[in-house]
Chain A
Amino acid sequence: MTAIAHKPARKPVRGRDIVWMILPAIPFVLLLAGWTIYWAIVRPNMGTLPPVWTVAQTLWQITASGELLGHIIASLGRLVAGVSVGIVTGVLLGFLVGLNKRAAEFVYPLVIFFSAISGIVWLPLVIGWLGLGPALFIFLIWNTVFFLVFQNTVLGVQLVSEVLELGVRTLGGSRLHTILNVTAFGAMPYIMSGIRSGLGFGWRALIAAELVGASSGLGQMIFHAAEFHRADIILAGCVVIGLLSLLMDRLILVPLERRTIERWGLVTPGAKGA
């Protein structure tokens, strides 16, 4: 019955559905069109602004040659390593501090200061200590991600409703049981939004660090291209950087949130930036 009732109701919506579906493509199409028209009229130097198709061609070339993949793997490897360390340390220390009010009061001023200089600011100092190896990148990403995850975890832990914890205590739950079954879950929305913005900041920090000094990675690829006035490679690289950032958010974080926070009917808080 319901299936039959549904069918006629669906048809008139179709046309609108298609419009709704293609809407996100419109600004991209407009941008490409504007770019092409500008290029056709001004005819700028290839090294300054190549036409769209050259960028597409270059993108295809570096993809086919495997060059791009190598850079992507290098960048993502650093990101995964740095972010993992950042999440683990941020969550663990966040719990430690969040559960202890005096510890929180003591560390807070330090956290404010060091999160203000987190990430790329450390580069000049740390290059001297770690050289230009993978340790440098992992440090810089860790340094960026840690503070975001840490601050959000502390906030999340502190904001878990006391009555939820007391309720489980009266069921006979030990303090550890309560932390694992109540506090950890209750703080989840905050931890997730910390991770989410941590990933965003970390990705930026990585590209910046790779620009300054690396032998591989997307940042290095585009910076290297600038020396040879290869704007096509730079643009192709920027497209890849943007796509990867979108994909990470859509394929990892959004589904993760959907399976946890949304399912439990919790609200995702605004991320605590910087």
Chain B
Amino acid sequence: MTMAQASHARAVPMHDPFRIGGFSLVAGKFSFLLPFVVLVAIWWTIKIAFDLDDRVLVAPPDVLGALWTLFSRGILADYAATSLYAIAVAIIFSACVGVPLGFAVGANKYVARSLDLFLRFFQGVSGISWLPLAIIWFGFSDTTILVIVVYTLVVPVIFNTMVGVRAIPREYALSLQTLGASRLRVVRDVYLPGALPSILVGLRLGMGYGWRALIAAEMLVRQGGLGDLIFGARTFGQIDRIIGGMIVIGVLYIIVDRLIVQPIESLTFERWGVLRK
């Protein structure tokens, strides 16, 4: 009886206007592509409807063509590698130097108090602001770019590590100490997992700042990298290369952010969600 009734039950409506027969763009695995299809269609329509010059806006296939040219000649790999290398160095450096530093700062309330404003101030002076000085010191070189990106990334990492350590309730450490745990053990079992969510927030935020600072620095220093690629293309009015480059910049960022950083972050948040603040 129950089953018969159930089949007549008014189902919770599953709205899916994009269902064509048994196939659905929305419910499927590639549903995320649909909005982009719509976007490209609008872009193309604008291009045709306003009859825009190629120096203002190019048609979508031209961008694909430009990307293919850049890719097949190895130019893209070259430029992208330069950018990825810089951001990778900055991330590794920030994790290796910024996190221990953040711990050292956060573990003592006097040190934390003294460095709070200092770090906030330098977080306010964005990395890119140091670019003119870095150019004077290191010239138009890769070193300049690396310095800028490392600076941009390391400050939020130190800061957020410090905040994370400070946010851990004292009772957690105390209760472990009453069990006779050593200092090292307290750090390993309380401070590290407790501060991890905050550290990852710092890394992620830093990466957002760092990636943009990198692109901006590359535009100005002009020593390779994706920023150089799109800014250089502007000089020759190659809109196809600019848009192609932008797509690459976005996709690379999403890959790093969504496929590496975010899964780790959400994992820690799910397990230690209580400390999120």
Binding site for B on A (CB under 8 A): 20, 23-28, 31, 47-48, 102, 105-110, 112-114, 116-117, 119-125, 127-129, 197, 200-201, 203-205, 207-208, 211-212, 219, 222-223, 225-226, 229, 231, 234-235, 237-239, 241-246, 249, 267-271, 273-274
Contact = CB atoms under 8 A, between A and B. Distances in A.
B174 to A, nearest CB: 23
Contact of A204 (B33, B115, B126, B135): B126
B186 interface: no
B113 A268 contact: no
Interface of B, secondary structure class, is: helix
Interface stretch (B69-77, B187-195, B234-242): B234-242
B212 A120 contact: yes
Contact of B216 (A102, A110, A208): A208
B246 A117 contact: yes
Q: Give the top 6 A-B pairs by smallest Cβ distance, nearest first.
A: A245-B124, A274-B208, A226-B132, A242-B125, A208-B216, A273-B205
Interface of A, secondary structure class, is: helix
A245 B125 contact: yes
A117 B33 CA distance: 17
Contacts of B172: none
B66 interface: no
Chain B interface size band reads 35 or more
A23 B239 contact: no
Given A24-B117, A117-B246, A274-B204, A235 B133 contact: yes
Contacts of B121: 28, 242-243, 246
Contacts of A205: 212
B35 A238 contact: no
Nearest to B217: A208
Contacts of B239: 125, 128
Interface stretch (B4-12, B92-100, B175-183, B250-258): B250-258
Contact of A270 (B132, B133, B230, B277): B277
15 contacts: A106-B34, A110-B35, A116-B251, A120-B219, A123-B219, A129-B56, A201-B208, A201-B209, A201-B212, A219-B129, A242-B121, A242-B122, A249-B120, A274-B205, A274-B208
